[in-house]
Chain A
Amino acid sequence: MFSNKYIFTYASVMVILVAAILSSASMLLKPYQEANVKAEKIQGILASANVTTDREHAANTYQQHIVEELAVDSEGNVVSRYRNDSLIEGDVRPFDIDIKEALMRNQAIKLGESAEAPLWPVFVLEKDDEKYYIVPVRGVGLWGPIWGNIAFESDFNTIAGATFDHKGETPGLGAEINTSWFEDEFKGKTIFDEQGKFVSVNVVKGGAGENAPHAVDAISGGTITSNGVKDMLLTGLDNYVPYIKKNNNNE
């Protein structure tokens, strides 16, 4: 009933038609989708310093509070500076730095392979005349990537707030990292010990105990995700240590 020629023509026309429909839909919707992703990133950065905003006003609130974006290299030098919608130094806008790629390059360099030197973004936020330094971190959980933003007080040692999020950790267990009880644990913790040595913040299974300055409670049942958060902080914040040391010496 249907000839081969008919079948081939039918299939070809169908495929071309579908391709056209899908690609135009993708092109039309892309600006909305990208705006969502960007707004989400902004929300994450601001929320770590306790500035909440909804998606629509994200860009405005960001401009209001973020006074400067910095990009620092692994030796602690400021390579790029972005202020008032324009680049003052360097050629990369710190906001656009892909942490995942930077971490991969960093890893490659540690293994002795050649890779472009990674840059690490720092967002300087001002709220009620207080200065906060916000750094993004990224790591792996149990099922996929986890990421977060850590806001430091002006000493770049005491954590003022932290937000985490995840792609698909187990609901009720690992997924708890983006709930406030877990995030709030980080407030007031410090990442340097009294000798000024970088110790990060440990995520301890079975409870960190009271008054532990460098540790928080892990999530029961979410051990692998908790360890992921620990490693993410350790490897992520480590890259900022040279910058922090340099910065504090100058003052």
Chain B
Amino acid sequence: MSNREPLFSAKNRRLLTTPLGKENPITIQVLGICSALAVTVKLEPAFVMTISVIAVLAIGNVLISLLRKTIAPRIRIIVQLVVIASLVILVDQVLKAFVYDVSKQLSVFVGLIITNCIIMGRFEAFAMSNKPWPSFLDGVGNAAGYGIILIIVAFFRELLGSGSIWGYQVVPEVFYDWGYKDNGLMILPPGALIVIGIIIWVQRSRDKSLVEEN
């Protein structure tokens, strides 16, 4: 047991942190864009979506990793889908039972976690060939990387589109009297695309190693 890797070795820590920046699922791999456009009008649903995806991806990664030696390669995609779909339905049912308001806001998008490419992507790329613990960290890391972008986007969309943060009005009433108007574009999906574009631009201009050659 003495030569076992510590739980939070440098390698494991990297699993958790690189998806937040250098290997971010949204800004670098450009996965999960659909839901990033849909649930980021306000901060609260973006936050709940983040939590839900962290739960689904972390648990899913561990399950797939535990099962990885028993899964026949020919049906592995089906097995992965079944695992995702059941977890998502469970999350949806739990939300409906205990945080009804939030589940109403997220409505169809919780179900759409099933089609979130990040999850299938991590199952295929990581959990199928790694042990449960690193898979767990990889799941949490990637979902958090997805979530952090979601929350940044939601912050700006809610601020510029509705003049509020987490439902609380932050743009003072006098601004409106002076002729300030909330930006309607930010409320619609193209607003999210623009914000994500700006985030990608900022990230690449700060870290030149991300820029492809040619």
Seen from chain A, the residues whose Cβ lies within 8 Å of a Cβ on chain B are: 1-2, 6-7, 10-11, 14-15, 18, 21-22, 25-26, 29, 32-33, 36, 40, 55, 167-168, 170-173, 221
Contact = CB atoms under 8 A, between A and B. Distances in A.
A14 B75 CA distance: 12
A7 B187 contact: no
Given A33-B93, A36-B96, A172-B187, A6 B107 contact: no
Contacts of B42: 171
B193 to A, nearest CB: 16
B72 A14 contact: no
Contacts of A11: 75, 78-79
B97 A33 contact: yes
Interface of B: 41-42, 70-75, 78-79, 82, 86, 89-90, 93-94, 96-98, 100, 107-108, 161-162, 182, 184, 187-188
Contact of A14 (B82, B182, B188): B82
Contacts of A10: 70-72, 75
Contacts of B98: 32
Determine the main DSSP class of B at the interface with A.
helix
A29 B72 contact: no
Contacts of A173: 184, 187
Contacts of B96: 29, 32-33, 36
A204 B82 CA distance: 49
Given A21-B86, A167-B107, A172-B41, A7 B72 contact: yes
Q: Which 4 A-B pairs have the closest CB atoms?
A: A2-B72, A32-B97, A172-B187, A36-B100
Contacts of B182: 172
In the complex, which of the residues A1, A10, A173 has the most CB atoms of chain B within 10 Å of its own CB atom?
Answer: A10
Contacts of A7: 72, 74-75
Nearest to B79: A14
In the complex, which of the residues A2, A171, A173 has the most CB atoms of chain B within 10 Å of its own CB atom?
Answer: A171
A224 to B, nearest CB: 15
B108 A29 contact: no
Contacts of B161: 172
30 contacts: A2-B72, A2-B74, A6-B72, A7-B72, A10-B71, A10-B72, A11-B75, A11-B79, A14-B79, A18-B82, A25-B90, A25-B93, A29-B94, A29-B96, A29-B97, A32-B96, A32-B97, A33-B93, A36-B97, A36-B100, A40-B100, A55-B100, A168-B108, A171-B162, A171-B187, A172-B41, A172-B161, A172-B182, A173-B187, A221-B184
Contacts of A171: 41-42, 162, 187
A7 B162 CA distance: 53
Contacts of B90: 21-22, 25
Contacts of A18: 82, 86
B163 to A, nearest CB: 10
Contact of B187 (A1, A32, A36, A170): A170
A15 B82 contact: yes
A170 to B, nearest CB: 7
A1 B78 CA distance: 18
Given A10-B70, A36-B100, A29 B93 contact: yes
A84 B211 CA distance: 71
A149 to B, nearest CB: 17
A172 B184 contact: yes
